[in-house]
């Protein structure tokens, strides 16, 4: 692998025309690959006017499988809202941040963030199969932009090897599964060779936006000593299709633990009905456990997609009352300045009087619990 290798470039290469995995290559090739490809879509005048300016801040890319989910008759379609640039994106509010969770302040070497002792983020690529308009890393993706290059990870891998407290390596980016199998196998082997690392975690939207890419070759590249957890990123039940179901089945059969994180987005998934259906279908149909529901962070130009925290808490409370523990995500905010992800509730503790606690039940009634602890 030389430099800047990503699916997008690979699908472009003519010599790949006979590749057996043609399905995903068609999805890439026939999708939106540049802002100029938006011109052929039935956009609103506002979207059309915003496309060029928005693309300067955050690239535009939408595989065909994901594009096909858009109902163009619905201006508020939840798939469209996630990937089509909008005029609101160009309105930046006071206080919004270029690096909302301070990835860069906690980066001791290039392509690595180390904030919690036992786990690191590793960025093998800054490219994605799909670009989500609300992405909190959009400014890093635009500024750095590069794909995988073996040499670019050397310092990060040496850092992991030199820190025995690191047990978990989280591949993120960018989208790690936008890399070719060969690059993934190479990265897997290098991390596997570091004895104190026990878990490899992959944060990805590929199973959602480019499910045809989840091939037997891809899952084979990730087999070995390490436990593998794939954290998908579904935001709406409309993203769950026969194709995403097949992708998740392939990953489950490969032995990966599957979790999902969603971002709470106004106009996309900010009702209890939408979130409930999403969480149930993730678990029942895909075998993917809802892990986090993220409150919107302060990425620039995203005020129109943020809810208030009080709205999020009310949604999280309603989900907690309706869904089993397995189907229920934890509602979190990733704090600015690297404060980490903290649960925002709902909170059931109403108060305490010495050893007697007043706690609100799922039915809304407040009950007491008095501590009795042996000495
Ligand atoms: C989100 C994040 C993690 C992973 O956090 P979990 O709560 O374990 O999912 C690790 N490191 C950094 C810097 C993060 O931002
Ligand atoms: S796939 Fe992830 S990293 Fe890439 S644009 Fe979407 S949210 Fe951001």
Distance CA 74, CA 229 (A): 35
Q: Does position 10 have pLDDT exceeding 70, yes or no?
A: no
**Residues whose CB is less than 8 angstroms from the CB of residue 325 and which lie 6 or more positions away in sequence, other chains included:** none
Identify the pLDDT of residue 68: 98
Asked whether residue 7 carries a pLDDT value surpassing 90, the answer given is no
Above 90 in pLDDT, residue 197? yes
- Residue 181's pLDDT band (boundaries 50, 70, 90)? very high
CA distances from 280 to 44, 222, 287 (A): 33, 28, 10
pLDDT for 95 equals: 92
Q: Can you give the length of the chain in residues?
A: 375
- Per the rule left: phi > 0, alpha: psi between -120 and 50, beta: everything else, 226 is beta
Interval 101-114 mean pLDDT: 92
With a Cβ cut-off of 6 Å, ligand 2 is lined by 128, 130-132, 135, 137, 173-175, 205
Taking only the tens place, the pLDDT of each residue in 43-78 is: 999 999 999 999 999 999 999 999 999 999 999 999
Residue 9 has a pLDDT of: 65
178 vs 262: CA distance, rounded Å: 19
What pLDDT shows up at residue 262? 98
Question: CA–CA separation, 177 vs 63, rounded Å?
Answer: 14
Q: How far is the CA of 264 from the centre of ligand 1 (A)?
A: 18
Query: Which residues are within 8 A (CB) of 188 and not within 5 positions of it... i.e. 6 or more apart?
Result: 200, 221, 222, 224, 226
318-330 burial, b at 16+ Cβ within 10 Å, e below that, comes to bbbeebeeebbbb
Which secondary-structure segment (H or E) carries 248?
helix 242-253
Distance between CA 172 and CA 254 in Å, rounded? 20
* Model confidence at 281: pLDDT above 60: yes
User: Would the pLDDT of 15 be above 60?
Assistant: no
The percentage of residues in the chain with a pLDDT greater than 90, rounded to a whole number, is: 84
Cα distances (angstroms) measured from residue 262 to each of 42, 192, 329, 344: 27, 29, 9, 15
Mean pLDDT of 287-298: 96
Nearest ligand, CA 141 = 2
pLDDT at 18: 47
pLDDT band at 1 (very low <50, low <70, confident <90, very high): very low
What average pLDDT does this structure show over 70-92?
Answer: 96
Mean pLDDT of 299-328: 96
Distance in Å, CA 83 to ligand 2 centroid: 10
- Please provide the DSSP assignment of 89-157 as one string: GG-PPTT-BSSTT-TGGG-SSTTEEEEETTEEEE-S-S--SS--TT-TTHHHHHHT---B-GGGGHHHH
Which CATH number applies to 90-343? 3.20.20.70
DSSP label of 286:
I
Which pTM does this prediction carry? 0.94
pLDDT band with cut points at 50, 70 and 90 for residue 253? very high
Yes or no: say if 101 and 113 are a contact pair by the CB < 8 Å rule.
no
Residue ranges of the annotated binding site are: 128, 132, 135
Buried b / exposed e across 167-201, counting CB within 10 Å, b at 16+?
ebbbbbbbbbbbbbbebbbbbbebbbebeebebbb
| Residue 247 clears pLDDT 60, i.e. is over it | yes
Residue 19 confidence (pLDDT) above 80? no
Q: Can you tell me which atom of ligand 1 is nearest the CA of 291? A: 9
pLDDT at 146: 86
Q: 6 alpha carbon to ligand 2 midpoint, in Å?
A: 14
Confidence of residue 39 (pLDDT cuts 50, 70, 90): very high
The gap between the terminal CA atoms of the chain, to the nearest Å, is 63
Cβ of 43: how many Cβ atoms within 10 Å?
18
98, pLDDT greater than 60 = yes
- Report whether 316 contacts 79 (CB < 8 A): no
- pLDDT over 60 at 14, yes or no: no
Q: Mutate which of 104, 115, 120, 199 to test ligand 1's pocket (most atoms within 8 Å of Cβ)?
A: 115
| Domain boundaries defined on the chain | 90-343, 346-375
Span 149-164, average pLDDT? 96
Averaged pLDDT of the chain: 93
Of residues 119, 122, 138, the one with CA closest to residue 130: 138
Ligand nearest the Cα of residue 82 is 2
Region of poorest pLDDT, from 19-33, 133-147, 200-214: 19-33
| pLDDT at 2 (0 to 100) | 46
CA of 206 relative to ligand 1 center, distance in Å: 19
Gap between the Cα atoms of 269 and 273, Å rounded:
9
Q: Check whether 17 has a pLDDT greater than 70.
A: no
Percentage of the chain exceeding pLDDT 70: 95
80, pLDDT greater than 80: yes
């Amino acid at each position: 692998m030389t430099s800047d290798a990503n699916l997008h470039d690979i699908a472009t290469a003519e010599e790949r025309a006979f590749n057996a995995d043609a399905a995903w290559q068609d999805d890439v090739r026939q999708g939106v690959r540049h802002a100029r490809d938006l011109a052929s879509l039935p956009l609103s005048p506002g979207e059309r006017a915003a496309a060029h300016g928005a693309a300067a801040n955050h690239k535009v890319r939408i595989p065909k499988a994901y594009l096909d989910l858009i109902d163009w008759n619905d201006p508020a379609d939840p798939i469209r809202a996630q990937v089509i640039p909008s005029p609101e994106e160009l309105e930046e509010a006071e206080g919004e941040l270029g690096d909302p969770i301070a990835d860069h302040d906690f980066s001791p070497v290039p392509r690595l963030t180390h904030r919690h002792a036992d786990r690191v983020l590793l960025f093998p690529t800054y490219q994605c199969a799909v670009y989500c308009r609300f992405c909190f890393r959009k400014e890093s993706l635009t500024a750095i932009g590069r794909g995988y290059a073996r040499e670019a990870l050397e310092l990060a891998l040496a850092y992991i090897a030199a820190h025995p407290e690191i047990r978990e390596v989280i591949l993120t980016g960018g989208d790690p599964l936008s890399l070719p199998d060969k690059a993934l196998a190479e990265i897997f082997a290098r991390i596997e060779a570091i004895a104190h690392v026990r878990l490899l975690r992959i944060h990805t939207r590929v199973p959602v936006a480019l499910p045809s890419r989840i091939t037997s070759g891809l899952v084979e590249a990730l087999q070995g000593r390490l436990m593998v957890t794939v954290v998908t990123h579904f935001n709406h039940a409309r993203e769950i299709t026969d194709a995403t179901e097949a992708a998740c089945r392939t990953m489950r059969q490969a032995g990966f633990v599957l979790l999902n994180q969603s971002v709470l987005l106004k106009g996309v998934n900010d009702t209890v009905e939408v979130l409930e259906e999403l969480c149930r279908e993730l678990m029942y149909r895909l075998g993917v456990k809802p892990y986090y529901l993220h409150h919107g962070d302060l990425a620039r130009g995203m005020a129109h997609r943020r809810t208030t925290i009080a709205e999020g808490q009310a949604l999280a409370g309603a989900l907690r009352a309706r869904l089993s523990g397995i189907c229920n995500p934890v509602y979190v905010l990733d704090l600015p300045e690297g404060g980490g992800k903290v649960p925002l509730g709902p909170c059931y503790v109403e108060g305490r009087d010495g050893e007697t606690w007043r706690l609100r039940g799922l039915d809304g009634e407040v009950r007491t619990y008095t501590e009795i602890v042996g000495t």
